[in-house]
Amino acid sequence: NAGVTQTPKFQVLKTGQSMTLQCAQDMNHEYMSWYRQDPGMGLRLIHYSVGAGITDQGEVPNGYNVSRSTTEDFPLRLLSAAPSQTSVYFCASRSTGEETQYFGPGTRLLVL
Amino acid sequence: AQKVTQAQTEISVVEKEDVTLDCVYETRDTTYYLFWYKQPPSGELVFLIRRNSFDEQNEISGRYSWNFQKSTSSFNFTITASQVVDSAVYFCALSGANSGYALNFGKGTSLLVTP
């Protein structure tokens, strides 16, 4: 099992550009989520999904869209990047009934 | 509402010293889970331990031990005989039914172990 994978590892964007951060897991986990990590802030939940076709907002959803068309994939879309979205983004997954979330390696995003 | 407080922002110890990382939480859930994650300088998040609210038994894993006390809403983490490889940021996190079991993280404690 590859676990949770994220691409790209690092991305530089200009303000206003759009992009999609990819997240995939091969553990057949129902629950997937996106967090952002900023210095001194810990990790904050952006969006999460409890299964294919079901998504919901977390603590800091503004500026981000998600969809869950398959169990394996949970992409995070930035429609119009802003410097405030400069951060490290982590995707995580867990199985229903197994409360431990496992994290991907992260994507470092810089918005100029 | 759920909240996790890690009051220690940075800790510096000399190798072989014992160190305790504090974690205090707030929740209205009767069923909840507490976690510790390690983030080494390479950046990945490594799961260390999970505890559910009905299990107050302390746990020891090698040089690591965890002390869960519901009476004080604390879930402290002790590293015995610290090593340089323990240098990392450590996050305490909480999840519960009322928040869909999403993780609420503390702001982390940066531990530096020097030779």
Query: What is the 3 state secondary structure string of chain A?
Result: CCCEEEECCEEEECCCCCEEEEEEECCCCCEEEEEEEECCCEEEEEEEEEECCEEEECCCCCCEEECCCCCCECCEEECCCCHHHCEEEEEEEECCCCCCCEECCCEEEEEC
Q: What is the mean pLDDT of residues B43-48?
A: 93
- Burial-class residue A35 by CB neighbours within 10 Å (0-12, 13-18, 19+): buried
> Could B100 and A48 be called an inter-chain contact, meaning their C-beta atoms sit closer than 8 Å?
yes
All residues of chain A having their beta carbon less than 8 Å from the beta carbon of residue B35 are 100
Task: Provide the 3-class DSSP secondary structure of residue B35.
Answer: strand
Inter-chain CB proximity B100 and A99 less than 8 Å: no
Most confident of the ranges A46-55, A89-98, B72-81, B92-101: B72-81
Question: Is A88's Cβ below 8 Å from some Cβ in B?
Answer: yes
- Option in A58, A100, A106 nearest B44 (CB): A106
Arithmetic mean of pLDDT, B53-68:
89
- Whether the pLDDT of residue A95 is over 80: the answer is yes
A99/B50 Cβ within 8 A: yes
Select from A42, A48, A105 the Cβ nearest to the Cβ of B102. Answer: A48
Is the CB of residue A23 less than 8 Å from the CB of residue A104? yes
For the cut 80, the answer to whether the pLDDT of residue B6 exceeds it is yes
pLDDT for residue B55:
86
- Cα distance from B97 to chain A (closest Cα, Å)? 11
Which pLDDT belongs to residue B101?
Answer: 77
Q: What is the pLDDT of residues A75-84, one digit of tens each?
A: 999 999 999 9
Judge if the upstream peptide bond of residue A8 is cis by omega within 30 degrees of 0: yes
Kindly report which listed range (A6-15, A22-31, B4-13, B52-61) carries the lowest average pLDDT score.
B52-61
Q: Cβ neighbours of residue B71 under 8 Å, at least 6 residues apart? A: none
